[in-house]
Structure formats: C-alpha cells, structure tokens
Amino acid sequence: MKITVLFPTQTEASLFQRENVTSIICGVGLTAAASATLKAIYQQQPDILILAGIAGVYPHAGYKIGDVMLVQSEVEGDLGFFTPGGFVHLAQLPLDMDFDRRHTLHCPHLPSGVPFPLARSMSLNAAMAPFVDTRNVDIENMEGAAFFHVCLQEKQRFLELRSISNVVQPCEDNWDMQGAVRAMTAGLHQLIDLLQQSA
C-alpha cells in the first residue's frame, strides 16, 4: 500500500518517520493545503493520502488536549459575508437545503475498527474565529476543508487525523503543542498499521 502523509508544518512532522511512507509539508492554510494536496495526488499517486496535524477543540465538544481523532467531516468556515447584523455564513442563507448537505464535506473512506473517535471539523482563518457559528462542529483547523475538497474532486482515497493542542475560546492560552504532536504521531502509526493490515 502506497501511503503519503501531509503535515501542515515541520513541527507537526518532526517526530514522524516510517519506512515506505512519504511525508510532505503542505503549509498552513486552505490555499497551501489545496495546492499541496493536488500536487501530492499527481506526483505521488498514493493509494491513500493522509492529512495529519494538531487542532483546537471547542469547549462544548467534550474532547480534551491530547485526544486523537479521525475527522469525519469538514466545513469551510470563512464562506460568507458581513451584514449590519453580523457575519452570515453561506449555510445560513434561506435556501431549501440544510447545513450539512450544502456546506459540509464528508470523508467516505473511514475504516472500521479504528481506536479513535470521529470528529466534525471546521477550517477557517483565525481572523474569522470570533464570527463563526461553531455549534455543529467539534474542532477547528486551517487546512482540512481544502484537503477534503481536492481529494473528493480528484476521487482520491483520503483520511484526516488530528490531535487536540488547545481549547478554542477567548483569552485561552493553555496550549500543549509538543504533547499534541507526540499524541498525533503515535496515532498516525496506529492508523497506518491498521490500514496496512487491512490492505
């Protein structure tokens, strides 16, 4: 099985090394992730492409710092516009379809028997964080929605693995980046073991 792993940053990739698995630093943000994902698909031609990194957790989600999860869905939180009443996400427009069907991308490749919970994620620029509606998501990151979009468009088998580095709330500075990277790396090895055993 040919596996390629994308990491947003060198820090997130720093502890991972595995024979016959290609690692790529994709860069931070939706644009960098989209470009690197497309390039990886065509240059590496992987059987499965994995995006692995850290994420923030929303207080209502029930996860804690250090938890590792597979991402089952992504929504691009920046899509919308400002009105006198505040920010309106495209999902809030009065169209005859619901939030999930119109603006959430789902991963159709989730393996069975994984030792991780499944999380709903939102990808957004940090500047938008005060304005978005987070009730329908558990975690946030800056790359996942672009990664999901490109993989789905290119019919590439994919997974996204995240570990929690911080709680997302105003004036919260309780980060454990190194602990989250260690947990993510261990989880990534578990996930790859599972994928290779089931191949």
Q: How far apart are CA 99 and CA 41, in angstroms?
A: 29
177-199 pLDDT tens trace: 999 999 999 999 999 999 999 87
Residue 13 token pair:
């990739």
Beta carbons within 10 angstroms of residue 81's beta carbon: 9
* pLDDT single digits (tens) 126-161: 766 666 777 889 999 999 999 999 999 999 999 999
Q: Considering the entire predicted model, what is its pTM?
A: 0.90
Domain 3-77+104-127+137-198 fold is: Rossmann fold (3.40.50)
Give SS3 for 158: strand
Do 14 and 181 meet the contact criterion of CB atoms below 8 Å apart? yes
**pLDDT tens for each residue of 7-44:** 999 999 999 999 999 999 999 999 999 999 999 999 99
